[in-house]
Structure 1
């Protein structure tokens, strides 16, 4: 827990990964996935230096330096020529925030006037970027369950950090139990897939 408002900074994110490595070892990390808010010069340098595989989304207008062409362009320009939802990886190394890495991405269906892209920066294996980055969606579902969807943890009146940590730990254990039970029940009686391709049920409302 951080004793402050707003997001964590690069140092705090690096400290968190180092803490994880200290407890479990670097060899258990398959990859690190993160959204657009969590890419930074120091963090990329740390991940590259420690050879930790990562798949981090970047903004469309992120500046990318192409060493083989000796020029800098917007990241979206590498994927603008492809069809919508056609996920591809750029097969040459690039430089972002002074770090050598790879890029993968696609042009998205966008309801907005401005075109949107899914662009992922990685340490290596850019061909796995889409599959690995999709796993991050489980984290979003966990956040949704922790908040208003199921456990409504934000309504707690606790203010002491140690008590909040214990509460979150207990809710995490409860969430994992619900998750495991859901998988078991799905194996016995699979959730119906509707005509639009979505599941008939997603979360059990425990409110």
Structure 2
């Protein structure tokens, strides 16, 4: 992270990127110009608003486009830098974040995919297909539970537990004691049949 990483991404041919930077990072309109923190540059944004600074700006000694957004749900400030297509930087980053959450669920925060040590492409492909179905089921169950009994919010405005984790924990508890939870299990199974 930082100047060396950004320099690497900007070597010809450039690698298109969308990087989140800290609020305290300094941004300047020109090399050697007055630098201000990202937080100060975007302090007027209200929740749900975003703004792209005009032209390229200097961050970590390199010229990049800078986009700021105040997240609607939490009011948190998100600052991105990019070298291409600044108009699509926020939606691109949002898609990336969804992928990061999926990888986390497939790995350490859920199914522990890396523990399998599979090397055979055919077996790995089948396992990924099965885990994709399981992930979808856990998300649907989590949403179903959340609709019936909303997941409480923490002080920062985010849920105390993700929809995936809520559904995953429910399915795990259910499978570990199926006779006790058979009624709820059948309801959850109906969610899978609609997938």
- TM-score range relative to shorter protein: 0.5 to 0.7
Secondary structure in 2 matching 1:60: coil
Match of 2:111 among 150, 157, 163: 150
**Alignment: residue pair count:** 151
**For residues 89-126 of structure 1, what are the alpha-carbon distances to aligned partners after superposition, in whole Å with 9 as ceiling and x for unaligned?**
11221111111101111124687xxx841000100211
In structure 1, the gaps of 5 or more residues are: 1-38, 157-162, 184-190
1:63 is the counterpart of 2:16: no
- Closer, same or farther: CA 164–179 of 1 in aligned 2, 3 Å: closer
1:178 is the counterpart of 2:141: no
1:92 is the counterpart of 2:45: no
1:139: how far off? Answer: 1.7
Aligned-pair Cα RMSD in Å: 4.1
Q: Measure, in 1, the Cα distance between the counterparts of 2:103 and 2:59.
A: 30
**For residues 130-172 of structure 1, what are the alpha-carbon distances to aligned partners after superposition, in whole Å with 9 as ceiling and x for unaligned?**
111012221222112312423375xx5xxxxxx95849x9668
- Closer, same or farther: CA 106–84 of 1 in aligned 2, 3 Å: same
Secondary structure in 2 matching 1:147: coil
Query: TM-score, structure 2 length as denominator?
Result: 0.59
Matches within 5 A, 1:165-204: 166=119, 174-179=127-132, 194=147, 202=164
**For residues 50-79 of structure 1, what are the alpha-carbon distances to aligned partners after superposition, in whole Å with 9 as ceiling and x for unaligned?**
221100100010111221892101012221
Match of 1:81 among 25, 36, 44: 44
Bigger Rg, which one? 2
In structure 2, the gaps of 5 or more residues are: 137-142, 151-158, 176-195
**Richer in strand (by share):** 1
Query: TM-score, structure 1 length as denominator?
Result: 0.56
- Closer, same or farther: CA 132–110 of 1 in aligned 2, 3 Å: closer
Match of 1:129 among 72, 82, 89: 89
- Closer, same or farther: CA 143–182 of 1 in aligned 2, 3 Å: closer
Match of 2:79 among 98, 119, 128: 119
Secondary structure in 1 matching 2:19: strand
